[in-house]
Amino acid sequence: MWLVFNVLHLSYHMQHLGMYGTRDQVLNVVTLTLLVLSSAALLVPVLPGRRQGDTW
């Protein structure tokens, strides 16, 4: 759900960058892209064979 929201949110702001100054445009693109990437990272499964609490 977070991934869908963040992709749509990024898409909206990418279409409306003209209303912002240069610094805000850059910060919007960078921040919202990082949110999309972090949301996508939550979908990556944990490596097999490693469980929470396992120690080296």
Residue 49 has a pLDDT of 66
Residue 52 has a pLDDT of 65
CA distance between the termini of the chain: 34
Q: Name the DSSP class of 20.
A: S
pLDDT in tens, the chain (56 residues): 899 999 999 999 999 999 999 999 999 999 999 999 999 999 888 667 666 666 66
Angle of the 22-41 helix axis to the 2-15 helix axis, nearest 10: 160
Residue 45 has a pLDDT of 81
Residue 44 has a pLDDT of 86
pTM, entire model: 0.75
CA distance 47 to 41: 13
Residue 1 has a pLDDT of 86
